[in-house]
Structure 1
Amino acid sequence: MEDNDHLRSLKALTADDAVWEGFNPSAWRAIPPEDKVVKIAESSFATQDQNEAADYASDDSAPMVLNHHKLTKAERAKYGISVDRTRQHLVEDQEIPRNRPLEKLEKVKWKQTGLAMGDVSSEGDVFVAWRLVTSYPDMFVGKVNGSRAAPFFTVKALHQKCDWDLYYIYAPPQMNIDKAVILVPTYQFQHVLDAVNAKLDTQLTIPPGRNEGRFKMTFGFGNTPRPRFLGRSSNGASFRKLVKSTPGPHQDDDISKVAQADLDNFQHLIARTRADRKSRKRSDRNRSKRIASHKAWGQSIKRVQRYLGLRQRVVAAEIADGVDKPAVLDLSEPTSVKPENSVMFLAVDVEAWEQNQNLVTEVGIATLDTTEIQNIAPGNGGQNWFPYIRARHFRVKENSWAVNRRYVHGCPERFSFGRSEFVRQAQIEPILKQLVEGATLTDPVDGMTKQRPVVLVFHEAASDIKYLKLLAYHVEAVRNVLEVVDTRMMHQYLVRSNDSASLASVLNHLSIPYRHLHNAGNDAVYTLQAMVGLAVAKRLKSLEKVAAKATQTHIPYNEFKHGEGEGWTSNEDDDGGDPDDSFRSVFSSENEGAIW
């Protein structure tokens, strides 16, 4: 655009042409004289420890900083001008510029504080507690980015790319906190966030809102103590050494004469550096319980695999001798492992009226005899074993009028695996007793008929066992019940989820076709099918993991964090252990309110 055309376009934007009198349209695009450009280059390479007054004391330095934007890329290269280095003088000494390349962020060197150990910090310095720095990914970042960022916030990783200036401060005696609180400058923590963001392409920030103050703390109001310098740590070893050598409370930090209001504010500040201590302990306890549950679910699914012949029992001698485990599971061939204990699986489902949960309307029972499938290939998802599942469907005669319509669509008349049987409620208990306790097996060694072990299978065991108690049947008292298996928890372990899924969702996940759910007989059959499908799917997944581990040199952090670290996985030397008979105490009459 020509100068005159440009001037006319500017005048068109305003109502008063007079404001443009004397304006030279050529000046805005002019390149400064060469001698001034050279001065720009010299100024841009000034050392970082020059103060701002020295950098910009002359009158002609300001326009030079502005004029460098008018130079072309070739002209900047000619005179050795770097835009980034010129801008560097426009920020405070310790501020970390945003969007800098990762290599520059990783090579930062802080100016020396000029303080000796025990010297008090400057008034107005801004700090964050070290415990908040290391716990930042867990406490203030979502699950996805939290797991990605966590490796950068260990003590070792935090020292790999920058040093830390450590400060300490003691809480008032009445707070009963003996150890000093370790603090670091907030700008150094911000630098870490910038470096992690550049590395992971994230947007981690100091939390806004009420938590922001915990990362931007200033001390010393009303003659209360200010943090004292501890030293500069360059690695994990020096950090631990400095913390271990923290001096005791300084005599100048006496708070006996501090006004009560100022003392209350000081206590509040200290409390915020150690906030969430109780909730963290509670969270740790909850996490421990959660991990224990995950491990128990994993043990259960491994034992089911042993009972089905999908996994063999591991003995100590085999572990010591390094006996090779099967690398693949060929579902088109019978398993090479004999089903352990010749177990009979027996699934139970109970339906109750939705308007009165004490009114039992249906009981479904399905069985799978493992001696019948020993020489049968499992097939895809174990579906070759499904025809060996036998089922019975009982409708409680006196309650048959009660059909669920409001919350679930009951279909007691649509039993898909045989004919329904109408019985009185009092007959259910002896029927269950005969099916469970009357299960026998002929011993191949001595030919004697013996009571056989039974594994009870439920989808949401606590609910169905509660209904069985209403029918006067107490599973915890039955001696030949080996253990109780819950397909809901088996599925949670397979998909690594703390959220339970409905039977329909589990069947969909396993691609098992179904119809007429909420019929107790059908649900019992589908529960057994789900158990088989889950056991097969998990066994295949475990063997794939074994094969992958053979080529791995380390465990990926994400796998450790969400796998082994959360109890979702274990090694092949763990076969599930002995049967879990804790259900006898969990479901005893003294613990009717307990949750499975």
Structure 2
Amino acid sequence: MASNRELYSMMNSLNFTGSVTQPDGDRLSELKVGEQPAKGFEFCPYKLIRKYPFLYCSKQDSDDLHECMKLTIFENRTWTFFYLLDPGPTNREPLLLVPSSQVEEYLDYVSSWMKKKFSVPADREREKFFITFGEMDTPLPRFIGHANSHNAVESLKPQVLKLPKDDLTRIGTAALEHYKTKMDVIYTTFRTDKKKKDVEAARLKRFERHKRYGRMMKRAQRYLGLRSSITEHANSSRIPRMGWNGNIPAPFRIEGNVRFVCVDVEAWERATHIVTEVGLAILDTRDTKNIPPGGADVGYNWFPLIKSHHFRIREHLDKVNRQFVAGCPDSFTFGQSYVVSSRDISDVLSTIIEDKESDDKRPIVMVGHDMGQDLKYLKKVGYNIWKAPHFSDEVDTKSMFQRYEKSINGRGLQGVCQDLRIPGHHFHNAGNDATYTLRAMIAMAVNYASQSFARQNDLDHGDSDPGEWSDGATDDGGPPVKSSEPVPQYNNRAGSGPNW
């Protein structure tokens, strides 16, 4: 769990405020349902005041104050309620907020009632009771109603579902991340110790996942000669002191002379255990060695070096997806499609992926868009990539793009290609998708390298973002990382086989 000092630091960086000005304080009774206050209006989470006795009182006082509050919190008193919906994926209940001025007034009342002083805590703890919203055009709370009893509060909660939802798509990625983190901190302020630990554990897990995405990006760059390892960097005389762009060859040694092997598998929408197409796209990094990736920071010059393959499964030629995606198995753009029987497809894939026709056995880096699913589908057609002797690393372009955009949400391949300025058509053909996925990896690696040099970070080759997306200026991506082979799960029915 984060220490109080860490939470205070986070709250301070997220524009919490400790002042007590209430620009709309004189017109609370005139608010209409759904109305939003002006920026600068100060709020306190309703649950925070309810848990005040246990968070800010000694053990001796907490029980007495808790009993007092049960009796007095609605005694001759009406609270003004606002709400915000949880912007994260956790489906937490709406955040109920009350004006900070009402909280201070009530604590003064309780102090008088108990003949003992209770007030908003001082210093950094005070900031939890005075929170403003709306910075960076993030959502403002909406008025939901007044309540003078516990039942009245409960009757307000269902009304939230009938009121407008904030359009989070209108704000930028950085603002959205800022807002979600801020809301995480607010929810944490009134959680029990166990829940605080859960929230903090989830936050740290998310941070580490994002850092892994950055390391994946860096390893891909090292394989393409767009980044050096830490050891090589310290001793290299090839570091471009005046910057680098795509019009000159990659500035560093191509590490490992790897073969990028991108896979895409199409399954039938009516029975997803049935594989109808398999696509492969191969990029041999030895072919890119002396070729500039090209201007516009996309890597167009490397696209023609990709060798693409498309296979349709003979037994399932009649199965074409139409309901959820527009399948187009007859529209392979990058060569000739081949029809292969289900009993032969494994051998065909093994020959291409493992380069069995060559004696030059070099490392294989598997690439995919949300690749875990595609590798599992390969097992369904009888090919186990984890048995391939030279399989050494994985690159998932869905995760890479999340790092590239600093977004917690993944994007589909077609949207990624559009954002990266990669022209394409006939998506959902396995051969095309494998090729576009490999192009997307190239574009992100090239563009990210160009940005690093443009920021004049070539000396430390690090990361200008010190936040949750940074994997450290001294991190070169580390050693290769590949997933563990999935363990089959068996049905309970007698005689049934494994489910992958």
Match of 1:149 among 15, 22, 30: 15
Match of 1:170 among 58, 78, 87: 58
1:39-50 → structure 2 map (5 Å cutoff): none
In angstroms, what is the RMSD of aligned CA positions?
4.0
| CA distance in 2 between partners of 1:285 and 1:431 (Å) | 44
CA contact (8 A) 1:410 1:519 kept: yes
CA contact (8 A) 1:458 1:485 kept: yes
User: Deviations 1:271-305 (Å, cap 9, x if unpaired)?
Assistant: x9962133332221111111111111111111111
1:59-208 → structure 2 map (5 Å cutoff): 138=11, 149=15, 169-172=57-60, 208=97
| CA distance in 2 between partners of 1:306 and 1:401 (Å) | 43
**TM-score, normalised via structure 2 length:** 0.62
| CA distance in 2 between partners of 1:351 and 1:409 (Å) | 11
User: Deviations 1:570-595 (Å, cap 9, x if unpaired)?
Assistant: 32x321111113x025x354799xxx
SS at match of 2:433: helix
1:6-405 → structure 2 map (5 Å cutoff): 138=11, 149=15, 169-172=57-60, 208-209=97-98, 217-218=106-107, 220=110, 226-227=116-117, 275-277=190-192, 278-315=194-231, 318=234, 326-380=241-295, 381-405=298-322
Report the Cα offset of residue 542 of structure 1.
2.0
| CA distance in 1 between partners of 2:104 and 2:375 (Å) | 51
AA aligned opposite 1:394: F
SS at match of 2:278: strand
CA contact (8 A) 2:370 2:396 kept: yes
Runs of 5+ consecutive residues of structure 1 not aligned to the other structure = 1-130, 139-145, 155-166, 176-205, 237-271, 442-448, 551-558
| CA distance in 2 between partners of 1:334 and 1:136 (Å) | 44
SS at match of 1:357: strand
Residues 1:482 and 1:495: Cα distance change in structure 2 (over 3 Å): same
AA aligned opposite 1:494: Y
Residues 1:216 and 1:495: Cα distance change in structure 2 (over 3 Å): farther
| CA distance in 2 between partners of 1:231 and 1:148 (Å) | 19
For 1:464, the equivalent position in structure 2 comes to 374
SS at match of 2:230: coil
User: Deviations 1:200-252 (Å, cap 9, x if unpaired)?
Assistant: xxxxxx9734998766652758975734799987x99xxxxxxxxxxxxxxxx
Residues 1:370 and 1:438: Cα distance change in structure 2 (over 3 Å): same
For 2:480, the equivalent position in structure 1 comes to 579
AA aligned opposite 2:468: E
| CA distance in 2 between partners of 1:213 and 1:273 (Å) | 22
| CA distance in 2 between partners of 1:458 and 1:517 (Å) | 14
CA contact (8 A) 2:110 2:118 kept: no
For 2:172, the equivalent position in structure 1 comes to none
Larger Rg: 1
CA contact (8 A) 1:137 1:153 kept: no
Residues 1:300 and 1:476: Cα distance change in structure 2 (over 3 Å): same
**TM-score, normalised via structure 1 length:** 0.53
Report the Cα offset of residue 541 of structure 1.
1.8
Report the Cα offset of residue 172 of structure 1.
4.4
Report the Cα offset of residue 369 of structure 1.
0.8
CA contact (8 A) 2:258 2:285 kept: yes
For 1:517, the equivalent position in structure 2 comes to 427
| CA distance in 2 between partners of 1:292 and 1:232 (Å) | 34
SS at match of 1:352: strand
User: Deviations 1:27-62 (Å, cap 9, x if unpaired)?
Assistant: xxxxxxxxxxxxxxxxxxxxxxxxxxxxxxxxxxxx
For 1:15, the equivalent position in structure 2 comes to none
CA contact (8 A) 2:314 2:340 kept: yes
CA contact (8 A) 1:169 1:225 kept: no
Residues 1:360 and 1:312: Cα distance change in structure 2 (over 3 Å): same
AA aligned opposite 1:312: S
AA aligned opposite 1:422: V
Q: How many residues align?
A: 354
Taking only the aligned residue pairs, the percentage that are identical comes to: 32
CA contact (8 A) 2:249 2:291 kept: yes
Report the Cα offset of residue 149 of structure 1.
1.3
SS at match of 1:360: strand
Match of 2:341 among 424, 427, 438: 424
For 1:123, the equivalent position in structure 2 comes to none
Report the Cα offset of residue 413 of structure 1.
0.4
Report the Cα offset of residue 547 of structure 1.
4.8
| CA distance in 1 between partners of 2:100 and 2:276 (Å) | 54
CA contact (8 A) 2:398 2:411 kept: yes
AA aligned opposite 2:290: N
| CA distance in 2 between partners of 1:564 and 1:575 (Å) | 15
| CA distance in 1 between partners of 2:282 and 2:122 (Å) | 69
CA contact (8 A) 1:493 1:568 kept: no
| CA distance in 1 between partners of 2:389 and 2:272 (Å) | 28
Bigger mean CA deviation after superposition, 494-503 or 470-479: 470-479
Residues 1:493 and 1:209: Cα distance change in structure 2 (over 3 Å): same
Structure with the larger helix share? 1
Report the Cα offset of residue 368 of structure 1.
0.6
SS at match of 1:421: strand
Report the Cα offset of residue 512 of structure 1.
0.8
User: Deviations 1:84-129 (Å, cap 9, x if unpaired)?
Assistant: xxxxxxxxxxxxxxxxxxxxxxxxxxxxxxxxxxxxxxxxxxxxxx
Residues 1:174 and 1:528: Cα distance change in structure 2 (over 3 Å): same
For 1:406, the equivalent position in structure 2 comes to 323
Residues 1:300 and 1:590: Cα distance change in structure 2 (over 3 Å): farther
1:565 aligns with 2:467: yes
Report the Cα offset of residue 173 of structure 1.
8.7
